[in-house]
Amino acid sequence: MTMSAKHRMSRFSMYAAFLLLFAGCGSGSSGTAIQSADVVILNAKVLASDNARRIMEAVAVRGGKIAYVGNNTGAMEFIGKETRVVQADGKTLTPGFFDNHTHILFMAMLRPMIVDLYDCKSLDEVRERTVAFAKAHPDLPLIIGFGWFYDYVPGRIPEQAMLDEWIPDRPVWMLAYDAATLWVNTPINDLMLKRNPKACRRMMPQIDEKTGKNTGIYMQSSSFNPFDFLDVEEFGSELKAQMFSEAGRAVAETLAMGVVGVEDLQIYKTFVPWILEFRDQGGLDDLRIRLAFYIDPIDIEDEEGLIADLRWWKETGEKESDGRLTLGTAIKLYIDGVSGNQTAFMSEPYSDAPDKYGYPNWTAGQFKRLLEHIDDFGMQTCTHAVGDAGIPYILDAIEQSANRGMVRDARHRIEHCELPSATDIGRMVKLGVLAGMQPAEFYGDASNEKALGVKRLKAMMPWRSLQEAGVSISFGTDYLAGSIPPINPLYGLLVATTRLNYKGNTDWGPEEAIDLVDAIHHYTLGGAYARKIEGQTGSIEVGKNADLVLFDLDLIAVDSFWLIQQLEAGNLDNFVDWTMAGGRIVYQRDGASL
């Protein structure tokens, strides 16, 4: 054989090898078992939600992973005899959503004890509904009213004597609509002070100046935890079964909204065994959930105990984390409270209280020391900050801890991040600090407007400024499992893209609205990045988990005015055809084809 013949043969062999290689990778059209996908979705509007913000038309899923994303022609190569083919007919396909801020398991398990007060218009309605609930549930160890508003309470803050008159002989907790102010009657207050005075201090009890006694009002009830005051036996087996059932219902509701991953962002040591038991019963088989362990300012008083708790959290995570449940990596903190009860820390006084600025929950020195301990354990902080004056506290502590020379991918987060200044935004970029935001809360209410004033409302939640500066944003809801706000991402997408407020107007900083593709990105890949799993999920890219949502409409083509009409009609909760997690259908709407 001549050299040229040998050369041609060598080139032919190489070419043949490439053909075989590409045939095995699915570029051919024979539909062999090697290249066949389990599911192929055609004729969709695929919002890949990757960093390039690509919009494609077809996806192939094989072995629980994305095998292909591109055009219909390319996807046809993945169709074999056993492939399930979905004709999307122009509907929108997105990655599964990740909600960065919920209280899903904690609140769901409390649901059997909760009377919903959100739609009450007066204190009389609150009384009637609470008393009726108590009579209808005589065996409950605790009654939890949830959703009263400051506006219809004389002086904005109620009195213990009033609740004692309503229900004098059974434990009753009454949480405000923002979960920030707790109003309790004497039976439960006495029990709390007797059994766990430290947990009471966490919630900032108000003390009567004349008598020196606890008034039954707690101004930081965002850290409330019935499991700190009641033993497991006091709930009883029947109530416990109901609590687990409610948790299962909340998980199912979450999946039905296209949400495949959540963060339960405030977990207590006494509640962890309940979650593990629920997990072991199969309650989390379809949902990815990460827990954040709550640390309170009073915990820094015992630094050795604080360090022991951090070590316990890390070791618990190493022992108990699995593919669905993650523990031991995140810490929840509060730098301040909320504007509704004037506990959010502001640089300028409240519009309806010129002598009040709110206050920081931590001293600057305490918070810096805490961040160093958390960094030493390699954990991520998720710090609540509603007022503008608290954000620099957080950034100062993060910067000081980083200046110790510890190089790591911390991804510390500011939760809510409602009023960052331009200086704060620049520092967030420099320090790699993330913004964990809940756009539906921008919608607001009259109480919020009175407290902040229109000037601050126009500057609140500056999504476009953060995005253009390069801050990594993740979206969520602050979902309370059955109460307002809803878990449905469509509400947040609507508000983020319109700046719609409770008055039905869009005049609060309309220049800070963002487009839909970016908003979805923050809700998907942004959420995955915020919990350090962006390599596995969050976007529709080859090799990632097949976490997908097919909506029953073309989201990009939908007019915002039409969506607002759907919101007003209460029709935003049924637009998901199906939700896929890891290649498995975990929700399918009645009547939706697959």
How far is Cα 360 from Cα 353, in angstroms, rounded to an integer? 17
* Length of the chain as a residue count: 594
Average pLDDT over residues 407-427: 96
DSSP H or E segment with residue 205: strand 205-207
Task: Tokens for 360, please give them.
Answer: 């920081």
For 468-498, how does the pLDDT look when each residue is reduced to its tens digit (9 = 90+)?
999 999 999 999 865 567 899 999 999 999 9
Of 119, 103, 58, nearest to 479 (Cα)?
A: 103
| Residue 187 pLDDT exceeds 70 | yes
Query: To 10 degrees, what angle do helices 364-376 and 303-320 make?
Result: 40
Of 190, 173, 170, nearest to 182 (Cα)?
A: 173
For 97-127, how does the pLDDT look when each residue is reduced to its tens digit (9 = 90+)?
999 999 999 999 999 999 999 999 999 999 9
How far is Cα 220 from Cα 285, in angstroms, rounded to an integer? 34
DSSP H or E segment with residue 375: helix 364-376
Q: What are the b/e assignments for 151-169, b being 16+ CB within 10 Å?
A: eebeebebebebbbebbee
| Residue 20 pLDDT exceeds 80 | no
Query: Worst-scoring range by mean pLDDT, 69-73, 213-217, 240-244, 368-372?
Result: 213-217
Q: What DSSP designation does 182 have?
A: E
Query: To 10 degrees, what angle do helices 232-256 and 272-280 make?
Result: 60
Amino acid of residue 63? G
For 326-358, how does the pLDDT look when each residue is reduced to its tens digit (9 = 90+)?
999 999 999 999 898 899 999 999 999 999 999
Q: What DSSP designation does 542 have?
A: T
* DSSP conformation letters of 242-270: HHHHHHHHHHHHHHHTTEEEEEEEEE-TT
Beta-sheet strand order (sheet of 114-116): 114-116, 143-148, 172-176, 182-184, 214-218, 205-207
pLDDT at 231: 86
CB atoms within 10 A of CB 34: 13
Instruction: Indicate the SS3 state at residue 145.
Output: strand
pLDDT grade, residue 254 (50/70/90)?
Answer: very high
Q: Do 261 and 325 touch, CB atoms closer than 8 A?
A: no
Q: Write the CB contacts of 256 (distance below 8 Å, at least 6 apart in sequence).
A: 576, 579, 587, 589
| Residue 412 pLDDT exceeds 60 | yes
pLDDT at 89: 95
3-state helix, strand, coil in the chain (%, to 5): 40, 20, 40
Beta bridge partners of 294: 332
How far is Cα 276 from Cα 320, in angstroms, rounded to an integer? 8
Whole-number average pLDDT of the chain: 91
pLDDT grade, residue 21 (50/70/90)?
Answer: very low
Beta-sheet strand order (sheet of 92-95): 55-56, 45-47, 92-95, 548-551, 576-581, 584-588
Task: Tokens for 355, please give them.
Answer: 């002598």
Top pLDDT among 359 and 482 is at: 359
The pTM (predicted TM-score) of the whole model is 0.89
* DSSP conformation letters of 483-512: SSSPS-HHHHHHHHHH---TTS---SSGGG
Burial of 359 (0-12, 13-18, 19+ CB in 10 A): middle
Task: Tokens for 97, please give them.
Answer: 């959503």
Task: Tokens for 263, please give them.
Answer: 């963060």
**CA geometry: angle 425, 426, 430, nearest 5 deg:** 115
Task: Tokens for 164, please give them.
Answer: 């004692």
Domain ranges of the chain: 26-95, 285-539
Our measurement of the distance from residue 483's CA atom to the centroid of its chain's CA atoms, rounded to an integer in Å, reads 14
pLDDT at 24: 36
Q: Is 447 left (phi over 0), alpha (psi -120 to 50) or beta?
A: alpha
Q: What are the b/e assignments for 253-277, b being 16+ CB within 10 Å?
A: bbbbbbbbbbbbbbbbebbbebbee
pLDDT at 483: 58
CATH of domain 285-539: 3.20.20.140
Task: Tokens for 516, please give them.
Answer: 């839909």
Average pLDDT over residues 7-19: 38
Beta bridge partners of 580: 548, 585
Torsion angles phi and psi, residue 288, rounded to 5: -85, 125
Of 444, 526, 519, nearest to 489 (Cα)?
A: 519
Instruction: Indicate the SS3 state at residue 93.
Output: strand
DSSP H or E segment with residue 166: helix 160-166
pLDDT grade, residue 214 (50/70/90)?
Answer: confident
Query: Worst-scoring range by mean pLDDT, 25-29, 246-250, 267-271, 542-546?
Result: 25-29
Alpha-carbon torsion, ordered 481, 485, 490, 494, to 10 deg: -170
pLDDT grade, residue 169 (50/70/90)?
Answer: very high
Alpha-carbon torsion, ordered 24, 29, 35, 37, to 10 deg: 170
Q: Do 509 and 458 touch, CB atoms closer than 8 A?
A: yes
For 501-523, how does the pLDDT look when each residue is reduced to its tens digit (9 = 90+)?
999 999 999 999 999 999 999 99
Q: Do 414 and 433 touch, CB atoms closer than 8 A?
A: yes
Sign of the torsion formed by the C-alpha atoms of 346, 299, 183 and 197 = negative
Tell me the percentage of the chain whose pLDDT exceeds 70: 94
Strand pairing category for 97-102 and 259-267: parallel
Q: Do 359 and 369 touch, CB atoms closer than 8 A?
A: no
The CATH class that applies to domain 26-95 reads mainly beta
Instruction: Indicate the SS3 state at residue 471.
Output: coil
* DSSP conformation letters of 339-353: TTTT-S--SS-BTTB
pLDDT grade, residue 8 (50/70/90)?
Answer: very low
The residue with tokens 């004692």 is 164
| Residue 27 pLDDT exceeds 80 | no
Q: Write the CB contacts of 437 (distance below 8 Å, at least 6 apart in sequence).
A: 100, 416, 417, 461, 463, 473, 474, 475, 476, 522
pLDDT at 53: 93
For 35-84, how does the pLDDT look when each residue is reduced to its tens digit (9 = 90+)?
899 999 999 999 999 999 999 999 999 999 999 999 999 999 999 999 99
pLDDT at 11: 39
